[in-house]
Amino acid sequence: MKIKYLNGERLYYAFISGAKEVIENRKELNKINVFPVPDGDTGTNLSRTMNMVMENVIADKSINTTLNSMGDAALKGAIGNSGIIFAQFINGLKINIKTENRLNVNNFAKSIKKAVDYTYQAISEPVEGTMLTVMKDWSKSLEEIKAKTDDFEELMSESLKYAKISLDETKDKLEVLKRAHVVDSGAQGFVYFLSGILEFIKTGRIHDIQSYEIILENEETALTQGDEIDYRYCTEAYIENVTKEIPNIKKILKKMGDSLIIAGSLEKMRIHIHTNNPAEFFAEVNNYSDIIDQKVDDMLIQYNIKYNRVADIALVTDSIADLPKKYIDENQIHVIPINLIIDETKYLDKITVNSDNFYDLVDQAQEYPTSAQPSIKTVEDKLSFLEDHYDSIIVITVSSKLSGTYETVKSAVKNINNGTKISVIDSKLDSGAQGLVIMEAAEKIREGKEHEEIVDYVEEIKKNTYIYVSVDNFDYMVRGGRVSPLKGKLGSLLNLKPIVSLDKEGNGIAFDKAFSKRGITKKIKNIIEEHQKTSGIKKYSIVHGDGINRAERYKDIFIQLLGEQPEFIEEISPVIGLSAGRNSVAISVMTENKEE
C-alpha cells in the first residue's frame, strides 16, 4: 500500500526507527571515526543526541508540534561535531515546516533542501566528504525522484541508493579517510538513520526501543598512531538569550580554533568548537548570552589512552589537586572538574574557568560564587570510559570534610558496578598537599607496583602530608561565609594574618596567626623547619592565588632552608581561591617519617 503523506505521528515513528538503526551501529561508527579528529566517539555522540530526542519528543498528529519538540530536544542534547550537525538539520526542518498538517513527497523534498541549506549555514568552514555532503546529495536526489512518484516508500528507497553512493565517495574526497580506508563516520551515521526510516515506511512496524544512556565503548578506531590533534578540547556551550548576531559570533570564535558549528537561533543556541583554551571561549560567549550548560572533552587524553597509555592502572583525582599541567599530561592523570557556580552559570574548575579570569569574575559577580561537587553522572561517565581502557582504577579525592566529591565518587562506583577494581581514597587534604600525594601514587604506578600495594602506600603517606596557607586578607573568607563579617572586620582592623591548615581528619582549621606578612612568613618558616628537624622533608610544593611574587619569595626562602627546589609552583584551583583569595600563598610538605 502506498504511503502518500507523513503526519506528526508517522514522522515520530520514522525518527524512532532511524535512531534505533544508528544506536545499534554505534560501535561501527566509533571504529571508523577519524575526522575531524580521531577520538572514536561519533557513534556515541549521535546515539546520545538521538536518545535525548526520543526522551523528549511529543508524538502528535500535527507535524508542527512533533517537529518543535524534536528540534528543541535535539539542540539541548546535541553532543559532538556530528550530533550538532544533526541537531541543526532537525531544527532546519522545524523552521521550514510550520503550517503543513501533512507532508507529501513534494513539500517533503522542498523542506529537506531548505533544512540542508540551513545546516550548511551553521558550519564556519563546511568540509565536503562528510555528513554534510551526503545530506546534500540525498536532498538533490529527492528533488529528482519526487517528479516520478507520490509514494514515500519509493522516494526513500530510491534516494537511499544515492545517499549510499555519496557515502562511498567520501573516502575519495578526504585524504584522511583515504589513508584509513574508511568512509566518513558521521556520513555513515546519517545513512544508517535513513535506512531505519525506510524500514519503518516499508513495514509499518514500530520498534520497541527503551530510552537509555550510551556510554563510551572500547572500540578500535581505524586511524594510525601518529595522527596529530591541533586543538585539544572538544568544547560545547548550550546558551540562550543571545544578544549578538550569528555572523558576528562566527567571526570572533573562528579565531579560537576549528570545527566551529553554531546551531539553533538567538533564543537557544548550541556552539561547538575545537580549541586549546575553553576558558577564553566561555568568557567570550558569556559576554552576550546566558550559559545553560558547558561540556569539554580532552581529545588528547582520549587519543593517548588509546595509543600511548603509560600504565595499566588509571590514576584519577579532582581539580582541587594542584599539579603542573605538564606533569598531569605526562603521567596521564585523569582529572574530574569540580563545579563553580558564578551568577547562576556553572563553570568547570580549571577548564572553563581558570586563574586568568577567575578573580575578575568573582569581583564582578552579583552574588558570591559557590562550588559544588561533580554530578554522579559526570563521574560515572569518566569511570565507565576508563574501565574500558584500564585493568583497575585508583581515585584520590579532596578531603571529604571540604567537599562531597569523595561520596559522589563512591556512589558512582556502586552504580556502574562493572567488575573493574576501583579504589576510592579520601586524601583528607587539598590543593598542593593533595597534589604531592597524587605525585607519589603516579610514581608507584610507573614503578609497576600492584594496585593494592599502591592503595596501602597512599593511605600511609597522606598522613605525612601537610599544608599551610597564608591568606592575604579576610575579604574572600568573609564573602564566602568561612568567617563572620564581624570577625573579618576585626581581623582587618588589627591587620591580622591567619595561617590556615587541615587537621588529621581533613577539616579546615586556623592553625596560627601573626600581625604582618613578614610575621606570618617567619611563623610558616619555623613550622617547616620543625618538620625538617623532627621527620625530614621528602618533598614540598608552593601554590598561590594570583600571587606569583609572594610564591617566588617563598621559593627562595625554602630552597635556602631545605636545600631543595620545590616539586612545583602552581596557581591554586579557583575553587580553593573562593576562600583563600588573591595574593594567598601556601606551602605543602611531605615528611619522610610519620609524625605523632
Tell me the DSSP string of 372-384: EPPPHHHHHHHHH
**Mean pLDDT per 10-residue segment, the chain (596 residues):** 84 91 90 78 86 87 88 87 91 81 88 94 89 95 93 94 95 88 93 94 66 35 54 93 94 93 91 94 93 90 84 96 96 94 89 86 84 89 88 97 94 86 97 97 96 97 95 63 51 65 89 77 93 95 94 96 96 89 92 76
Per-residue b or e along 272-285, where b marks 16 or more CB atoms closer than 10 Å to that residue's CB: bbbbebbbbbbbbb
In a domain, 15, yes or no: yes
Residues 288 and 166 in one domain: no
DSSP 255: G
In a domain, 250, yes or no: yes
Domain that holds residue 268: 228-308
Residues 160 and 40 in one domain: yes
Ramachandran angles phi, psi of 383, nearest 5°: -70, -35
SS3 state at 405? helix
Cβ contacts of 256 within 8 Å, gap of 6 or more: 273, 275, 277, 280, 281, 284
Residues 194 and 285 in one domain: no
Listed residues 203, 236, 252: the one ending a domain? 203
Query: CB atoms < 10 A from the CB of 331, how many?
Result: 18
Supply the CATH number for residue 64's domain. Answer: 1.25.40.340
In a domain, 283, yes or no: yes
Listed residues 289, 308, 327: the one ending a domain? 308
SS3 state at 488? helix
The model's pTM is 0.76
Cβ contacts of 22 within 8 Å, gap of 6 or more: 29, 43, 46, 47, 50, 189, 192, 193, 196
Supply the CATH number for residue 574's domain. Answer: 3.30.1180.10
DSSP 350: T
Nearest alpha-carbon partner for 164 in 197, 126, 194, 201: 194
In a domain, 379, yes or no: no
Alpha helices in 342-404 (DSSP H): 358-364, 376-387
Structure confidence at residue 476 (pLDDT): 58
Q: Please list the residues that pair with 266 across neighbouring strands.
A: none
Cβ contacts of 361 within 8 Å, gap of 6 or more: 342, 353, 369
Nearest alpha-carbon partner for 238 in 279, 215, 272: 272
In a domain, 360, yes or no: no
Cβ contacts of 511 within 8 Å, gap of 6 or more: 468, 498, 499, 500, 501
DSSP 207: P
Q: How far is CA 480 from the centre of its chain?
A: 26
Q: How many domains does the chain fold into?
A: 3
Q: Residues, the chain, total?
A: 596
In a domain, 453, yes or no: no
Residues 278 and 166 in one domain: no
Angstrom distance (rounded) from CA 336 to CA 383: 10
Angstrom distance (rounded) from CA 220 to CA 527: 53
Angstrom distance (rounded) from CA 250 to CA 239: 15
Angstrom distance (rounded) from CA 581 to CA 596: 31
Q: Are 432 and 555 in contact (CB under 8 A)?
A: no
Q: Which residue has the cell 587539598?
A: 430
Residues 142 and 250 in one domain: no
Strands 465-470 and 421-426: unpaired
Q: Which residue has the cell 606533569?
A: 327
SS3 state at 349? strand
Residues 191 and 143 in one domain: yes
Per-residue b or e along 364-403, where b marks 16 or more CB atoms closer than 10 Å to that residue's CB: eeeeebebebbebebbbbbbbbbbeebebbbbbbbbbebb
Angstrom distance (rounded) from CA 475 to CA 488: 7
Ramachandran angles phi, psi of 436, nearest 5°: -60, -40
Q: Are 284 and 353 in contact (CB under 8 A)?
A: no
Burial of 416 (0-12, 13-18, 19+ CB in 10 A): middle
Helix (H) or strand (E) holding 561: helix 548-562
Structure confidence at residue 1 (pLDDT): 61
Structure confidence at residue 62 (pLDDT): 86
Residues 473 and 538 in one domain: yes
Q: To 10 degrees, the CA torsion angle through 125, 129, 132, 135?
A: 160
Nearest alpha-carbon partner for 290 in 356, 343, 348: 343
Residues 237 and 122 in one domain: no
Structure confidence at residue 385 (pLDDT): 84
Listed residues 186, 203, 220: the one ending a domain? 203
Q: To 10 degrees, what angle do helices 152-173 and 105-122 make?
A: 30
Nearest alpha-carbon partner for 350 in 342, 339, 361, 360: 339
Residues 124 and 264 in one domain: no
Supply the CATH number for residue 249's domain. Answer: 3.30.70.3100
Residues 285 and 147 in one domain: no
In a domain, 270, yes or no: yes
Residues 241 and 296 in one domain: yes
Structure confidence at residue 215 (pLDDT): 34
Residues 303 and 184 in one domain: no
In a domain, 219, yes or no: no
Structure confidence at residue 475 (pLDDT): 65
